[in-house]
Amino acid sequence: MRTWRWYTRLIMKHGPAAIFIVLVIIFAFFPFYWMIITSFKPPSEIFRDPPTFIPQNLYLGGYRKLLVDPAFVGYMKNSTIVAGGTALIATFVASFAAYSFSKFRFPGNRVMSFSLFLTQLFPQSVILVPLFIVFQHYRLYDTYAALILSNLAFSVPVSIWLMIGFFEAIPQELGDAALIDGCSRLGVLFRIILPIARTGVVATAMYIFISAWSELLFALTFTTSKTIRTLPVALSMFIGQYTADWSGLLAAATLTCLPVAIIFLVLQRYFIEGMTSGAMKE
């Protein structure tokens, strides 16, 4: 039996707390509800006044139009490539670095690992102009490579930081025992650390996937052609032009947040762990 804090019990008993929570839940979820039901409303119902809070007819036209639209399917593909590529490279590179930081003692260890966390506090807009110039110079502008590289700038430090947490939870003795048994130090990473920490590693990769999937500013700046454009950029272009096809727009928005929602709900525990420990420890 969990003990309720007395003040929780107190205000719960008096009601305002319960009312507050219910209002917050409505405030937090009504917008999603409204997006999803609108995406299933036919145009005639969307522009009805008063609006219908429960859709009268189920309309799949918005989704059907998107899923047969080669352009939209292309944006989904581009987003998957960019987010997947970023997640793979970041996790791979970061696992080595996190192994180094968590299991070796060397000069600069603490300073460097903490500086990594601080990179999260740098404004994204600060590296925009120089990266733009560099990408143009090396003919990377408007390629997947430009998007993956720019996403890696912030993803690699975050991945290292998150994985240090997961690796440090593994007892040193396990690695030591393997070393005595003749395993190489690199072997310890692949045979002991990574298998044990696999859930944490997957959670890290997924976190990076989500942030690269949602990323707008780099994608907006470093691409121009439709064949490279990611979903967020495509959506931001839709939103700019005045359009009446709200069921299509909100269907596109729903499809964009679907992978994020699924990944998040599955790995929620690790997200919470990562964000609190990351911000609170030095």
Partner 1 sequence: MKDTVAPRLRVGKYVLPYALLLPAMVLILAILIYPIFDTLRLSFYNVKLTSIEQPFIGLDNYRAVLSERLLRVVLKNSFIWTLGSILVQFLLGFGTALILDRSGRLGSIIRGLLLVPWVMPGIVIAFIWRWILSPDWGVLNFTMTRLGLIDSYQPWLARPTSAMISLVIANGWKGFPFWMIMITAGCKAINQEIYDAAAVDGAAGWRMIWYIILPLLKLPLFVTSTLAFIWTFNYFDLVFALTRGGPVDATRTVPLYIYDTAFTAFRMGEASATSVLLLALMSVAIFLYIRLLRIQGGHLS
Q: Is 88 in the site for partner 1 (CB under 8 A)?
A: no
Least separation in angstroms between CB 68 and partner 1:
21
Span of 54-62, 68-76, 192-200, 272-280 interacting with partner 1 by CB under 8 A: 272-280
Q: To the nearest whole angstrom, how small is the minimum distance from the Cβ of residue 157 to partner 1?
A: 6
How many whole angstroms separate alpha carbon 157 and alpha carbon 113? 9
Residue 242 near partner 1 by CB under 8 A: no
Which of 205, 231, 207 lies closest to 220 in space, CA to CA?
A: 231
| Residue of 70, 104, 111, 241 interacting with partner 1 (CB under 8 A) | 104
The residue range among 57-65, 69-77, 152-160, 197-205 that interacts with partner 1, by the rule CB under 8 A, is: 152-160
Identify the residue among 27, 68, 70, 241 touching partner 1 (CB under 8 A).
Answer: 27
Could you say whether residue 282 binds partner 1 (CB under 8 A)?
yes
Residue 17, interface with partner 1 (CB under 8 A)?
Answer: yes
Q: Does the protein bind partner 1 through residue 239 (CB under 8 A)?
A: yes
Number of residues that bind partner 1 (CB under 8 A): 107
- Window of 58-66, 69-77, 195-203, 257-265 that interacts with partner 1 by CB under 8 A: 257-265
User: According to CB under 8 A, which one of 26, 44, 47, 198 is a site residue for partner 1?
Assistant: 47
Asked if residue 109 binds partner 1 (CB under 8 A), the reply is yes
Scanning 58-66, 67-75, 191-199, 266-274 for contacts with partner 1 by CB under 8 A, the matching segment is 266-274
- Residue 178 exposed, middle or buried by CB count within 10 Å (0-12, 13-18, 19+): middle
Distance CA 253, CA 88 (A): 25
Q: Should residue 174 be labelled a site residue for partner 1 when binding is judged by CB under 8 A?
A: no
Q: 125 or 225: whose CB is closer to partner 1? A: 125
Of 193, 223, 249, 270, which one interacts with partner 1 (CB under 8 A)? 249
96 is an interface residue for partner 1 by CB under 8 A: yes
Q: Is 10 in the site for partner 1 (CB under 8 A)?
A: yes
